Amino acid sequence: MTKLSINLNKVALLRNQRDVGYPDPILAGRTVLQAGAHGLTVHPRPDERHIRKSDVPALATLIRGEGWDRQGVEFNIEGNPFEDFLDLARIGRPDQATLVPDAPGQSTSDHGWDLRGDTSRLRGVIVQLKALGARVSLFMDADPAAMRLAADIGADRVELYTGPYAHAFETGQRDGVLARYVDTADAALHAGLGINAGHDLTLDNLPVLKAALPRLDEVSIGHAFTSDALWMGFDAATRAYLAALS
């Protein structure tokens, strides 16, 4: 089964436009979990333009304090490991830490790691995250040759950056691009890695990706999910994405 983790960043972004405290990402998290989501994802940035540092312990308490963890629900924190990420991980104690090579002012994630240039620093961070009890996933481009490197530095999983796939899907060129994701997933499995995916996944393109990658462990979806939830509501949107995965 491929698990669905809902990224709450865009809910927090809307909240931060006014000093009124709503919409509340904690309430949104509870709602999607009640509707059947398997986890919650946050990607704090240093400027706190959406998820704030104070949201991290509140969401961890939601999952563990209300017993969702006993049902297999996971907390995933994403971010650049060299930008106060370890401090947040110590506070939130995530089940999964997804390491992303974002610059501080970057609007959204748009590329994976170059492991040939970041190996030594990443290896040290991975050791510390595993000591906190977190599974470690590396945000990676669809590159079969990089999967062995990811395993060698200690990653447990890779999260495949699916932006190029989503673009190809919209422009009618998905088959050639999708083949590279299939090859990358095969290389990841051969290296002993689990496979996650995320970025620009929608109700339209998600079933095709899932069919091509049957051993996909998890997808994290935020922007498209929040957009759909504006029309459908959080309950119905969660159920729709669960159906798309099945």
Known catalytic residues? 43, 78, 199
For residue 102, give the H/E element and its range.
none
Whether the Cβ atoms of residue 52 and residue 9 lie closer than 8 Å to each other: no
Backbone phi, psi, residue 54, to 5°: -70, -20
3-class state of residue 161 by DSSP: strand
For the chain, the first-to-last Cα distance in angstroms comes to 8
Helix ranges, the chain (H): 9-15, 25-34, 55-65, 85-92, 115-131, 147-152, 163-170, 174-190, 206-212, 223-232, 234-245
- CA triple 41-3-184, angle to 5 deg: 95
Read off the tokens for 136.
């470690």
Dihedral (CA of 105, 109, 110, 115) sign: positive
